[in-house]
Each structure stands twice: as structure tokens, then as C-alpha cells.
Structure 1
Amino acid sequence: MMNTFKKYTIAIFATVALLFTACEDADDGGNIIPGVNSILNQTENNADLSMLNAALIRTGLNTTFNSSVTYTLFAPNNNAFTNYLTANGIASIDDIPVADLRDILQYHTLTTEVTTDVMTTDYIKTLGKDDEIEFLDLFIETGTSILLNGNVTIIDADNDADNGVVHIVDTVIELPTVFSLIAANPEFSELTAALQTNGLQTDLSNTDGTLMDPYTIVAPNDAAFQALVDLNTTDEFDSIADITGQTDIDEDLLYHVVGNDRLRSGDLSTGLRVNTLRPSTSFTVDISAGTVITDGTMNTANVTTTDITAINGVVHIIDLFIRSN
């Protein structure tokens, strides 16, 4: 009898231990049973996320955020949605076309768990996609506060979920254009100002194909402007202001833009001649050792970052302001 009791007791404790271990393993050591605290549950249980919850249900993404797949969700609160609806003349969430609403929500989503302690200032791919089914980029700027695309602030960070993390934001993140992804990055302050001064931000924000979009932009950052100044101490450029103050700076800016095409890194080849929006001009590409552009003055620029994707084109970062002549 005693041996039977001991065997029964041992079996009970073994079963309990196995179940306890299984629960720990299922949520990566968080001791939370999956399904109790999913990303969807957080939108259900937080009254300030009720409009987001309604949007998830309307688009069918409620199932996505209640699954075991890991995500990061930048979650607009009710005030963010209210401001978005007002700014766009929309009466309610139900008046946004489902496909458009889904596109917006997917752009608020990362396909891995990214907490604020590992965020860096950089572009990152989202679940949102362009017309060619390439993942859209989001620009994260870290600091005292964390900004998304230059104007969206994380106001309640690192809300842990069984299947990822939720960061509550104060603004609905608009789908990005090539201009907005440039303007969001402080390292493009000179290029942004030059584009705005010459009225080119309107064209580069266009998304309906009527103004030569989609675009490919080889975008010089602030260091690239300075690199042109430093390249030749005997030329006319003694400061960045000398570059941006040229009477034909708009033509130089157009030399950095390709119209009616998304040229991704995979489309480039050695010897490729690329026609630009500056009339009758082109630059050539060499990919034999990295990606290098040779401009009309025979100066070379290295492409340091490729395939930053917007809904109306792609951006590649270069380390020298290039010129056609």
C-alpha cells in the first residue's frame, strides 16, 4: 500500500512540474499563458485603444494580433484616431475603405518584437507594403523621446504581450512618401530644406502617378553635401550654403531623381546608365565593389544604404552630392 501511495504521489508531482514547465516555455519564460495577454487583448482591455480595436476587427487583423506570431504594434490611441479622422474629413473608422485601413494598420506593425531599449535611430521595415509588395520603411529617431517618421511620439512604451509588444503613440502614422522618409531623418536637413525651397516636396509627395512618380532618389545626406565642399578646395564651393544657394540648384536636385521607376538595388548592374529628371543627363553605376555612382563630372559617390521604401518610390543614400556638369 505504501509503495502504491508513493508512486501515485510522485506521478502527481511529475505531472504538475511538466505542466508548469510547458507554460513557461510557451511564452518564452514569461510565466503567462498565451491568449491571456495578446496584443489584441491589450486593445480590448484599454479603453483608450477602443477605436484601434474596432479598426483591427473591421480589417480582420484582430486574428493576426491574437495569434502566436510575434509582432510590435505602434498603437494609436483614441485621440490619435480622432485627429486623423478630422484632418482627413472622415466621419468615423467605418468610413475608411477597409483596404486603406488595413494598409495603415499594417504600416504600424513590425514583424519582430522591438522594445525601446534596442531601438536605434534608423529606418526599419514594417508589415506595410507598396504596390510592388515590398515592405515599407519607418524612420525611428531615439532620444529623450522616441519619434516615428519625425512627428509621431511614443507616449506609453513597452507594454509586454504574449505575442510581442505594444507601444502607444499619439498620432496615426501616415503611409510614407519618398519626401516624408527623407524629411523625417535629421541627417537629411540640407536636402530637405533644398527640396522645400525649390518646391520639389510637392512632386516627391505625389502618389497617384500623375507627376512622374514612382521615383528613385539617390539622396545625399548632410555629410554628402560637406564632402562635395571638401572635395576640391579650389572650386566655387566653400560651404554647404554655396551648394544650396546655386541659381540652378533645382536642376542639381533633379539630377538625383529618376522618374517613373523604382530602381531597387537588385535592378542595378555595372555599366548601367541611369537617366535622371534633369533633362538630357544621366549617371552610371558600378556594383563590382559595393555600389558606386559616377556623375557627369566624373566624381564618384558610394551608395551607403539601399532600398528605403515608400509608397511612391525608393530612396538610396549616397555619400557625395553628385552633379551633371
Structure 2
Amino acid sequence: MAFISKISKFALFALLVTGLISCSDDDEAGDVIVPSNTIADFVAANDNYSSLAAALEVAGLTSTLDGSANYTVFAPNNAAFNTFLSDNGFASLDEVPEDLLREVLLNHVQAGVIMSSNLATGYISSMATGMASEEPLSMYINTEDGVMINGMAEVTNADIDVDNGVIHAVDAVIGLPDVVDFATADPTFDILVQALTREDEFTFVETLQMTDSPAPFTVFAPTNDAFVALLDELEVAGLGDIQTETLSAVLTYHVVTEVNVRSADLSDDMMVETLNGDSFTVNLGDTVTITDANDRTATVVAADVQANNGVIHVLDTVILPGMEE
């Protein structure tokens, strides 16, 4: 019996060795497929993301998201794509221009792994580029109540781990943002938006959403605190106490048309002509400051918020044009 037991053990050992050698041969021959779970694999395997999978294929991005480089993807579901197509007048995905589709998709992608715990309220860069600049488009992340992107897409399922990065499911397609999108998404500009929309005859919002002339725009956007300080300076109780003509002149003084001027394009003592025909002076030093027509000074506290149709620089003070007596 001991002899039979030894033979049985030897036979089992031989079988195991043969199996391992066979598996090794299959690997070398390419017959064994090692399962993977890349971003592209996850999207392709989930019926709820079939529109995203089709879009990635049309735009030539499937192989990018199937590679070894790490990415963070905000993934819109089929319902989000249907809404995007309908809102933009497309009957199907085939009607979306390929170059536009590619940039919209890249506007959902960041290089590297960004977990939800690493997201904070503020601006990050996507991998998309817009019409106004070759620099990456900005994305405004608001984490005050969940995660909202550009005021238009909410993260519904975060931190889906895959082999080459992380996926955050979102409930809307994140379109290419214009300067108005950032102004309305970022609560820092609540009073600015109130000013832009105070009068029914104001067309500032419609103008700043344009992608053709007079776009691109360079907007010097005052914060809420800047407007509060202006009301105190003017000794008025609120925006409603500022004359319409004065408010219009002030707002157009903060906009430059036909050019996307980023911080790297600024120079010391640079004279900048604005939409209302008046000008101000840029001063470079430890900080970037602006001297207005009344020798008042504003500091750029954040720069290069890049939109599809222009760029925003944030000011801590409302600048004032020269006013006629």
C-alpha cells in the first residue's frame, strides 16, 4: 500500500508539472488572455455607458483609455448623452462633428488619478482645448454639497477603481464652457452675475456666450467682496442704486474683445483698451495689478480661468472707467 501511495503522489506531481508547462506554452503562444479592467474595458462592459463607448470609438480615444497611462474620467451615462444631443440639436451621435466630439470627451478627462477625496472647490484643467486658446480648458469643481462640475454635471458614483485610473460617474455631459458658465457656476461671482442681468435690456450674457466675433473675450471679473467694497465706496445701499448707464459702463470696462489674453501675455505698463472704449494699465511685480482711469488699483487674485470662448482673470476690486461729468 505504501508503494501504491508513492506512485500516486508521483503521478499527481507529474500532472501538476505538465499542467504548468502547458500553461506556460499557451502564454508564450498568446493563447491565454489575462483579464484586464481598463477605463475602456469598464465603459465597454456596461450597457449604461454604451453611448460613451461609441463616442470614444468615433473620436479615436478608446486606445488612449485602454493603455497603461493613468487617467481620471468623469463618465456620463446614456441618459446624459441623450440630453446633450437633444439640447444641441443633434439627432444622433453621428451628427456631432468629430473634432467637437473629441474635445467634449477630453473635457471629461484629467491626467493621473484624482480620487474624490482629493477634489476641492476650485479650478482644475481638463485635457480639452477650446476655440480661444491652445491652453487646456478649465473646470470648476464645487464640493460644497457633493461634487458639481462647471455647474452642469454632478458626480453620482465616485471612485470606481480600474487598472489605469479612476472613474467618477456623472449625470450630464460636460460641454465646453464659455465665460458665462464659469461666472454662473462659481459663487464667487454671484454679484457680478446680478449686475450683468440687472436690466432687461442688458445683453451682456448673450454676448459673452458667443463663440464668433466679438469673441474671444478677456474678462477681468470682480469678486463679491469687490462689489461690496464698491457699494461702500459709492455710498449706496445696493446695485439698484447705481444708474443704469453707469453700471453698463463699469461692466464693459472689465471686458476686452477679440483676444484671449492670458497672464503670460501681459507686460508691465501695458495699456489695455476695453469694450467701452476706455483703457487701463497693467502693472507687473510681485503681483499683477491694474490701474484704472481714476488711478485706483485692483489686484489679480486668480488668473487664466480658460473657457472655450475666452479667459477670466479675477480681481479683488471693481475698476472704474473715466466718467463724464
> Aligning the two structures, in what range does the TM-score lie when normalised by the shorter sequence?
0.7 to 0.9
Q: Which residue of 1 aligns with 2:3?
A: none
| Distance (whole Å) between structure 1 residues aligned to residue 263 and residue 116 of structure 2 | 30
| Distance (whole Å) between structure 2 residues aligned to residue 243 and residue 290 of structure 1 | 33
Instruction: Indicate which of 211, 215, 224 corresponds to 1:207.
Output: 211
* 1:283 to 2:283 alignment: no
Aligned residue identity for 1:215: F
Aligned residue identity for 2:274: T
Task: State how many pairs are aligned.
Answer: 287
Q: Which residue of 1 aligns with 2:183?
A: 182
String of CA shifts for 1:105-136, please: whole Å, max 9, x gaps. 01111122211111111111100002331100
Query: What is the SS of the residue equivalent to 1:65?
Result: helix
String of CA shifts for 1:61-99, please: whole Å, max 9, x gaps. 001101111111111100000111122221211221211
Query: What is the SS of the residue equivalent to 1:223?
Result: helix
Deviation at 1:249, TM superposition (A): 0.7
Change in CA separation of 1:90 and 1:48 when aligned onto 2, cut-off 3 Å: same
Deviation at 1:199, TM superposition (A): 2.2
* 1:297 to 2:294 alignment: yes
How is 1:25-64 mapped onto 2 (pairs within 5 angstroms)?
36-64=36-64
Q: Return the TM-score normalized by structure 1.
A: 0.84
Q: Which residue of 2 aligns with 1:157?
A: 158
Change in CA separation of 1:42 and 1:285 when aligned onto 2, cut-off 3 Å: same
Tell me if the contact between 1:73 and 1:167 (Cα under 8 Å) persists in the aligned partners. Answer: yes
Q: RMSD value over aligned CA atoms?
A: 1.9
| Distance (whole Å) between structure 2 residues aligned to residue 50 and residue 99 of structure 1 | 20
Query: What is the SS of the residue equivalent to 2:197?
Result: helix
How is 1:1-325 mapped onto 2 (pairs within 5 angstroms)?
36-131=36-131, 132-197=133-198, 198-209=202-213, 212-230=214-232, 232=233, 236-241=234-239, 246-279=244-277, 281-325=278-322
Instruction: Give the fraction of aligned pairs with identical amino acids, expressed as a percent.
Output: 37
Aligned residue identity for 2:208: L
Q: Return the TM-score normalized by structure 2.
A: 0.84
String of CA shifts for 1:168-203, please: whole Å, max 9, x gaps. 111111111111111110110011122223220101
| Distance (whole Å) between structure 1 residues aligned to residue 215 and residue 76 of structure 2 | 29
String of CA shifts for 1:247-277, please: whole Å, max 9, x gaps. 4211110000001111111111111110000
Gap regions ≥5 residues in structure 2: 1-16, 18-32
Aligned residue identity for 2:77: N
Tell me if the contact between 1:34 and 1:162 (Cα under 8 Å) persists in the aligned partners. Answer: no
Query: What is the SS of the residue equivalent to 1:62?
Result: coil
Tell me if the contact between 2:221 and 2:315 (Cα under 8 Å) persists in the aligned partners. Answer: yes
Tell me if the contact between 2:178 and 2:307 (Cα under 8 Å) persists in the aligned partners. Answer: yes
Task: State the structure with more CA Rg.
Answer: 2
Change in CA separation of 1:282 and 1:65 when aligned onto 2, cut-off 3 Å: same
Query: What is the SS of the residue equivalent to 1:248?
Result: helix
Aligned residue identity for 1:145: G
Tell me if the contact between 2:67 and 2:164 (Cα under 8 Å) persists in the aligned partners. Answer: yes
| Distance (whole Å) between structure 1 residues aligned to residue 62 and residue 84 of structure 2 | 21
Aligned residue identity for 2:218: T
Deviation at 1:144, TM superposition (A): 2.5
Change in CA separation of 1:150 and 1:78 when aligned onto 2, cut-off 3 Å: same
Query: What is the SS of the residue equivalent to 1:79?
Result: helix
String of CA shifts for 1:217-260, please: whole Å, max 9, x gaps. 00001011123234x4xxx3334425766542111100000011
| Distance (whole Å) between structure 1 residues aligned to residue 205 and residue 165 of structure 2 | 36
